[in-house]
Amino acid sequence: MDTKHRILEEALTLFSEKGYSNVFVNDIAERVGIKAPSLYKHYKNKQAIFDAIIAEMHQRFLDQAQVLNIQGNDPFRDAEIYSGFSEEQLIRLGTDLFLYYLHDDYIKKFRKMLTIEQFRDPSLGAAYSKLYVDDPLTYQGQLLAILVSAGVLHGESTETMALHFYSPLYLLLTICDRDPSREEEAIRILEGHIREFNRLYGRTKE
């Protein structure tokens, strides 16, 4: 009964490693433990499997947005938390968040798959930009705006601040996606980044 979902899982794994067109229906079936023609009892064709993965991601995204009160959805709440934080706590938080996005199996695979497929279809490119660029920048911008108006941080443009905070994270994430053995290095660099960000925009200055 959950074969239908197993198919999505295994397909996502394969798509994230080789890209849609380098994965054969046979490969997916083999991993699920059935024969290729049996797949068609669950999905109309290969493309439908891909589409279902995308649809599921959209659903997860909506679900998450629904549940407020959760990390990354309520800038006011988060800002309140951060404003009392020490630098070490901030680093800890940033690192944990980074590692969460890096390690969570579903998130990681989906990100890699979209990376591969982003130019094939404009809607996938748009999804990529939204998920990994615009949404994070918007959210961090809101967060920073609150922290600035509360006097916790100082900066002229929260848009630029958000870019300064987020883009190193993004860059480091892509490094680790390509080569997980560089994770330790990435964490070290990330620490330096957050420390410096805090110094540049932080409490002590001006």
Partner DNA sequence: TTATAAAGCTAATTCCAATTAGCCTGATTA
Partner DNA sequence: TAATCAGGCTAATTGGAATTAGCTTTATAA
Q: Which of 175, 203, 202 shows the shortest CA–CA distance to 189? A: 175
The smaller minimum CB distance to DNA, of residues 47 and 157, is found at 47
Distance in angstroms (rounded) separating the CA atoms of residues 175 and 186: 8
Q: Residue 87 CB, nearest distance to DNA (Å)?
A: 51
Take residue 137 and report the two structure tokens written for it: 């920048």
Q: Give the one entry of a copy of itself, DNA, none that residue 34 binds, where binding means its C-beta sits below a cut-off of 5 to 8 angstroms depending on kind.
A: DNA
Q: Residue 170 CB, nearest distance to a copy of itself (Å)?
A: 6
Residues near a copy of itself (CB under 8 A): 16-19, 21-22, 112, 115-116, 118-120, 122, 125-126, 128-129, 133, 155-157, 159-161, 163-164, 166-168, 170-171, 174-175, 177-179, 189, 192-193, 195-196, 199-200
Q: Residue 37 CB, nearest distance to DNA (Å)?
A: 3
Q: Residue 112 CB, nearest distance to DNA (Å)?
A: 19
Residues near DNA (CB under 7 A): 1, 3-4, 23-26, 29, 34-38, 40-42, 44-47
